[in-house]
Amino acid sequence: MYRGYTPIVHYLSPPVVYYDSTAELWFDGKSTKDLITGLATDEMLFINTKVGGSLMDFEGTVDNQDRFGHFARTRATGKIGELPIGNNYNLSMMWETGSAYVLP
């Protein structure tokens, strides 16, 4: 039952990122939006995404008008925050309902 409500992060593209580079985060939001009620119209379903502890900036690329499909891979494009060049960073994504599962 809970698998249907846990967003899954599939991967980050490109796999090598650096400060201020643009990357795509591929994820499946599952049925998470069915659990969220009373969300202000200017807020997004996911709160933040971190790559190596540094926040991704989705301003200008994702807003509250965007729709993320149920049980389908979706992408969100954002800028990488301050971190050195590398390809072995921990990835996390927070939603209004909790943390997303990140595939190894």
Domains, the chain, in order of start with CATH, read 2-102 (2.60.40.10)
pTM: predicted TM-score of the whole model, two decimal places: 0.84
Residues 6+ apart with CB under 8 A from 87: 15, 16, 17
**Percent with pLDDT over 70 in the chain:** 98
AA letter at 68? F
**Mean pLDDT over residues 88-99, rounded?**
90
Q: Please report which confidence band the pLDDT of residue 1 belongs to, taking 50, 70 and 90 as the band edges.
A: very low
Where residue 2 falls among pLDDT bands split at 50, 70, 90? low
Reading phi first (left if > 0) and then psi (alpha if -120 to 50, else beta), residue 68 is in beta
Mean pLDDT calculated for residue range 26-41 = 84
